[in-house]
Amino acid sequence: MNNEFLDAFADLKKEKNLSDEEIIGAIKDSIENAYRKNYGASNVRVDVDMEQGNVTVFMAMEIVEEVEDPLTQISLVDAKEIYDGYELGDVVEYEIDPKDFNRIAAQGAKQVFVQKNREAERTNSYNEFIEKKGQIVTGKVERINNGTMLVSLGRTEGRVPVSEQVKTENFKPGDRIKVYVMDVKKESKGPQVLLSRSHPGLVRGLFELEIPEIADGTVEIKGTAREAGSRTKIAVFSNDPNVDPVGACVGNRGARVQNIADELFGEKIDIIVWDEEPAVLISNVLKPAIVEGVYINEDEKSATAVVPEQQLSLAIGREGQNVRLAARVSGWKIDIKSNDQLKEMGFDFDEYEDADETAEYQEIEEAAAEENIEETAAEDIEEIVEEEATAEEAETEAKEEEAETAEEIEEAEVEETPES
């Protein structure tokens, strides 16, 4: 086996990204199989030295008194010519001249090597992408076949079926796109990589790529709900009290979240603060609607959110989108009502007595009460000030009137005094 042949294997190793062990294993298997097939010899051992560029083939022969199979046996007399210390039953290994490896055997070895090489390449590709399952990868659109988008991922091709595409997005061959790896299957023709542009994991992955605080674990993504092409709600939580999770995700002047929205072709993104208190969480996920109160049913993991009458349509959203996404991202079944609707339904407020006046609801009521107190106090102060000003003004006017009256009396007394 000459050096040029090994150089070809080295080039193949680099091109296909195969390890030395895989290359050596393929060479050994191909040559051994070719000898077995062409010579009927099952006692062949191949030694490969990739550094020196040497491939050595050894034939193992059993030492017998009378040779019956010249391919596997050697006489004691012939063995002692090689080494005088051999005895009956020993095994002699001797090198086969590569020149004896004829064209037919070489062709068989090549076919076996190609097959082994393909198997190793498929295994490597599968191992590479099985580790990327649940992550984002970048690829190039190769072609679109019956609606299925085929994306080149280097040595492997992935597919984005119609069901995992977004109707508002329009890609063409040659476009570079980011895709979410949904699944990887090992098949005879190579790994089948299933990709998605509509999966919520795509948004999560984009946030992990774009937001350093998420990448380093300072800010944690607690939940994601998406209606691809329209709106996404993502709930975040800060493990550092000094870091605002929403501010970190939005970035300076909204630059960070805008980059993500641009990748999603303008999809709207609601960033929500996660809270372990269900009532607070539900109030947060229903934003931009204002929630007056939340009644929790822990057993059924359901909640009734109370909003002002004029906020009902905003809380529910167009075709129920807002409340639907809120339920998905929070993990709670949410019903939205106004106070009047609950009363008309005969809602049993007492049933939720242990949990109805939840932290969020209490906070809202307390805030409202404080606001009312502050407003009342302000009004009282204003009224007192006005009253004091009015009293002061009245006192001033009375003094002025009194002064004018005294002056008039004095003038009258002067006029009535007779001349002397």
125-181 confidence digits (pLDDT tens): 888 888 889 999 999 999 999 999 999 998 888 999 999 999 999 999 999 999 999
Distance CA 291, CA 276 (A): 17
Same fold for the pair 199-274 and 276-392: yes
CATH class of the domain comprising 133-198: mainly beta
Distance CA 274, CA 252 (A): 21
pLDDT of 3 higher than 50: yes
Torsion of CA 249, 329, 336, 356, to 10 degrees: -90
For residue 360, what pLDDT band results from cuts at 50, 70 and 90? very low
For residue 380, what pLDDT band results from cuts at 50, 70 and 90? very low
pLDDT of 12 higher than 70: no
CATH architecture observed for domain 199-274 = 2-Layer Sandwich (3.30)
Q: What is the pLDDT of residue 13?
A: 63
Under DSSP, the state recorded for 310 is G
CB atoms within 10 A of CB 139: 22
pLDDT of 324 higher than 90: yes
pLDDT top residue among 354 and 314 = 314
For residue 348, what pLDDT band results from cuts at 50, 70 and 90? low
Query: Would you kindly state where each structural domain of the chain is located, as residue ranges?
Result: 3-128, 133-198, 199-274, 276-392
As a CATH number, domain 276-392 is 3.30.300.20
Topology of domain 3-128, CATH: N Utilization Substance Protein A; Chain:P; domain 4 (3.30.1480)
In the block, tokens 């929403």 appear at 246
pLDDT of 27 higher than 60: yes
Distance CA 298, CA 163 (A): 35
pLDDT top residue among 420 and 208 = 208
The SS3 call for residue 315 is helix
Full-model pTM: 0.61
Over range 329-343, report the average pLDDT. 89
Over range 18-27, report the average pLDDT. 72
Q: What is the pLDDT of residue 16?
A: 61
The SS3 call for residue 224 is strand
* Per-residue pLDDT reduced to its tens digit, 260-297: 999 999 999 999 999 999 999 999 999 889 998 898 98
Are 176 and 138 in contact by the 8 Å Cβ rule? The answer is yes
Under DSSP, the state recorded for 229 is T
In the block, tokens 């492997």 appear at 156
Among the residue ranges 79-83, 118-122, 214-218, the one predicted with the least confidence is 118-122
Mean pLDDT of the chain: 79
Q: What is the pLDDT of residue 282?
A: 93
Torsion of CA 92, 95, 97, 102, to 10 degrees: 70
Rounded CA Rg of the chain: 43
* Burial bucket for residue 227 (CB in 10 Å: 0-12, 13-18, 19+): middle
In the block, tokens 């795509």 appear at 202
* Per-residue pLDDT reduced to its tens digit, 243-257: 999 999 999 989 999
